[in-house]
Amino acid sequence: MKPLTIKEIENILFNRQQPEKEQLEQLKLDERKGVQTLLARFEKQQVKKQQLLEMHMEMRKYEEALYQQEHTYIAGLDEVGRGPLAGPVVAAAVIFPKDFQLLGLTDSKKLSKAKREQFSEIIKKEALAYSIQMIPASVIDEVNIYQATIKAMTNAVTDLSIQPSYLLLDAIKLPLPIEQTSLIKGDQKSISIAASSVLAKVARDRYMEDLHKEYPYYQFEKNMGYGTADHLEAIKQHGIISEHRKSFKPVLELAGLEIEKVKQDSLF
């Protein structure tokens, strides 16, 4: 029988769900360098896949425990944008079906922009329900960033098309009559919280990228509203816009504003 070509072997290893054990054993006997290179690549991929599967199972442990307690609809929540000097604070809530799996999903800050955007679309498609809420700078200045964050997250819960019986949150508690658990670094411990962090991050980044088109000198598409050196210099030269948080100390000082009482996050 004519031996398989390198291209045919590549298709067997990488373009099918899983090659048969007998096929792998046979390929290990093939002395061609190209075949052995493909096998080494395949085995490396399998190790990585197993690591991602183990991470996924670890990040499902809070949800699994709650499913055992007969909580069918568990919402994970997270927020993005507490620290920037401009733009909204954004919160998201996500409820998944029990069998949801997305290998590699973790804290949005650990994912590339391309991977976040890819995952965001998958999450929206497969979630039983999701909600993304934004609170603008004007409200942040009125109530302070902490209260604005609480408002964004509360709105995200109440806007869900399915009301959850339990909430998993990243280091925060909400004034809602729903059982909840607050986890330190929750976006690295819960798949639902990680998903909400991805939705919130992608939504806020797109908002700031659109804002950049209107106000390019602040370079919002790069700094996302954070107080980088270039952003601070732009405030000095061009002043501030309505998207700037006037209650945040750097904006207050650079814009020469006089506000009797500054409401600001404990970061400043």
In the annotated binding site for a divalent metal cation, the residues are: 78-79, 170
Binding site, by residue number, is 78-79, 170
Helix then strand then coil, % of the chain, to nearest 5: 50, 10, 35
What is the largest distance, in Å, between two alpha-carbon atoms of the chain?
87
Q: Provide CB contacts within 8 A for 254, sequence distance 6+.
A: 232, 235, 236, 240
- Between CA 192 and CA 177 the distance in angstroms is 20
Question: Cα–chain-centroid distance for residue 224?
Answer: 15
DSSP character string of 200-237: HHHHHHHHHHHHHHH-GGG-HHHHTT---HHHHHHHHH
Find residue 134's DSSP bridge partners. Answer: 90
